[in-house]
Chains A and B, each alone.
Chain A
């Protein structure tokens, strides 16, 4: 909610440089947001640690939330927002969340508009992700940022909170270059699978179901998948130089486009500039419904990013890039071969071995649900949670495939391999289901499915 600023005060009263707030001295304003103004400040002289002898960096950020002049209900809302931030920082601290050092009440009797404001004392960040996007982010840096956001979200969700206002303005880059999620004024604590939040948000980052969500006495129902949608938008912005995934000149136009996509009247068209791995990740985050997004938890996305990074880095030395490209071509050739079955395909079923491209899952035998893979009901419909049978499969399981469909919907795996080939699988009983060809390394010769 805090904006970068070339800031003229806008008639609002500001704390002047040198103003003392508790142990801190204001050095100047940094940004201004919905309810708050953020100032840079440093430890005042004469207080403990002000000499800098202990090596602790003594500059911090003060988020000042004025309550004077507000109607009682609004003042209560501001106090609640501040309380939520403090509560979250107290109960669920994490290296990827901005650190809250203290909360104070501002005493400024000579400035009635600010007297009594709530002040949150926070660690000082270098800039916001929005600032960084303006200067350009390369793929390696972008990968580190998205991984950082996923770590923060995974922690929040595990601790039972939803951020509800994730956007590049609220992703700070700390002085160590790492991500700090910030602005938890709208964060809500879940009871069970969902919580309720005030009908607020930033239009470009709200999931499509929010535009139709009914408003109850406690607010709008919200689940962790709302943050995952916002993450999908942020991933796209990071790898497409700040351009949002949905077309349109204004947030309203982009919302309308997102709505058309969610209702199945338009396809998702992500920018070609987004590298394939990140495009697949963004597409999963931007699955059109809560149910389709639900399997893509922050945790599972983080596991995919880690697998991608660990798989990539050793193979990344420059002289071998050509080889890697060749390897990718070779796989494409295999896929292409499968597209045109050989003249004399075997009419009998073949056994195929399931392959999970996520490295962390390949050596496990404990059948952890997070390492399970789904079999589709219909290979011509998107490979999402709604289109998957209850039976799950794991790496190295063997399955009976009886025919192949060369022209199903394309599936991209965690190693960026794409294929439109699907194998029809026979399960115990009369059940059949479909395994995408990218989920096995076997290439059996099978008849084309009728």
Chain B
């Protein structure tokens, strides 16, 4: 349980902000002022000084809407339009998504939003057996959502080994983008998105130990190799997961 991650992209003259909240910790958001300090400043007049609060709890988080007039939306960017509406004055609404985009109403063309990641969601192991309570079961301590895009990226990275092609190198980001293009959820997947999925896997989900002395480019390559090595070694990605990928023929015409 390492908590949640809140990310406010840069914009409106403000720098990007990333906050990490451990279980039980809170962060307030809003326009803020000298008398109403907030951890997450949203510089827009339509937003109240203290617009709401995020509270990390268990493996998820809660959203309190402190506005008395506006509802907030919490979208699941991976959920094909799945969203939650948090009405005004609602306290502690539990948010079930691993990835969330919190959208606040604004007069601007692009709505005001920030992201919240909850990487601690727990999944049972796929082949867990046993009739006893799941609560006392031995399980993999790093749970991945096998329906998430990051998992597809991971399977695509591991594919050459799973198909026993004795590859020389881990697929590159453009190769992953091309490989996943045939998948309905990845039609608009960009190279940048693949890189962020990789970072999320390495830093938040698997918490991979990287040597600190490598250069930036080396680090990215090293990270990619480390993610693949660990996913294969500990059986996080297995042969059966190849079925999640689009058919190779579709992605590699001419073969």
Contacts and interface: CB of A to CB of B under 8 A. Distances in A.
Nearest to B164: A72
Contacts of A215: 142, 206-209, 230
Interface residues on chain A, size class: 35 or more
B58 A248 contact: yes
A251 B134 CA distance: 10
B219 interface: no
Interface residues of B, number: 42
A10 B129 contact: yes
Nearest to A169: B136
B59 A217 contact: no
Interface in B111-150: 120, 122, 125, 127-133, 135-142
Most chain B CB within 10 A, of A74, A215, A266, is at A215
Contacts of A259: 1-3, 22-23
A206 interface: yes
Contacts of B209: 214-216
Interface string A140-176: 0000000000000000000000000101110000000
B238 to A, nearest CB: 5
Interface in B198-220: 206-209
Contacts of A34: 125, 128-130, 137-139
A248 B135 CA distance: 12
A165 B129 contact: no
Contacts of A214: 207-209
Contact of B138 (A8, A201, A263): A201
A77 B138 CA distance: 15
B82 interface: no
Contacts of A391: none
A256 B23 contact: yes
B67 interface: no
A37 B135 CA distance: 18
B93 interface: no
Interface in B151-210: 206-209
A252 B139 contact: no
Given A199-B141, A204-B136, A255 B234 contact: no
B23 A257 contact: yes
A28 to B, nearest CB: 14
Nearest to B60: A252
B136 A130 contact: yes
Contacts of B129: 10, 12, 32-35, 37
Contacts of B136: 3, 130, 167-169, 202, 204
B84 interface: no
A5 B137 CA distance: 13
Interface in A33-90: 33-35, 37, 71, 73-74, 77
B21 to A, nearest CB: 11
B1 A3 contact: no
Contacts of A202: 136-139
B167 to A, nearest CB: 16
B11 interface: no
Contacts of B130: 1, 3, 5, 31-34
Given A8-B131, A252-B122, A1 B234 contact: no
Given A71-B240, A199-B234, A263-B22, A253 B58 contact: yes
Given A8-B131, A256-B23, A266-B24, A212 B207 contact: yes
Nearest to A217: B229
Contacts of A74: 127, 235, 238
Nearest to A1: B138
A256 B24 contact: yes
Nearest to B208: A215
B20 to A, nearest CB: 11
A260 interface: yes
A234 B184 CA distance: 48
A294 interface: no
Nearest to B241: A71
A252 B230 contact: no
Interface string A206-236: 1000111111110110000000000000000
B139 A200 contact: yes
Interface in B210-248: 226, 229-230, 232-235, 238-240
Q: Please indicate which of the listed interface residues B57, B58, B206 has the most CB atoms of chain A within 10 Å of its own CB.
A: B58
A42 B142 CA distance: 40
Given A32-B129, A250-B58, A203 B122 contact: yes
Contacts of A252: 1, 58-59, 120, 122
B207 A265 contact: no
A255 B135 contact: no
B39 interface: no
Given A3-B131, A217-B229, A73 B140 contact: no
B240 to A, nearest CB: 7
Contacts of A263: 22
A260 B229 contact: no
B23 A200 contact: no
19 contacts: A5-B130, A8-B131, A31-B132, A33-B138, A71-B239, A73-B235, A73-B238, A199-B141, A201-B139, A204-B135, A211-B141, A215-B142, A250-B135, A255-B23, A256-B1, A256-B24, A259-B22, A259-B23, A260-B23
The 8 A-B pairs at the shortest CB distance, nearest first, are namely A3-B132, A256-B23, A214-B209, A216-B209, A252-B59, A260-B24, A255-B1, A253-B58
Interface of A: 1, 3-8, 10, 12, 31-35, 37, 71, 73-74, 77, 130, 165, 167-169, 186, 198-204, 206, 210-217, 219-220, 248, 250-253, 255-260, 263, 265-266
Given A1-B138, A31-B132, 17 more contacts: A3-B131, A8-B131, A32-B132, A33-B138, A34-B139, A74-B235, A201-B139, A204-B135, A211-B2, A252-B58, A252-B120, A253-B58, A255-B59, A256-B58, A258-B1, A259-B2, A259-B23
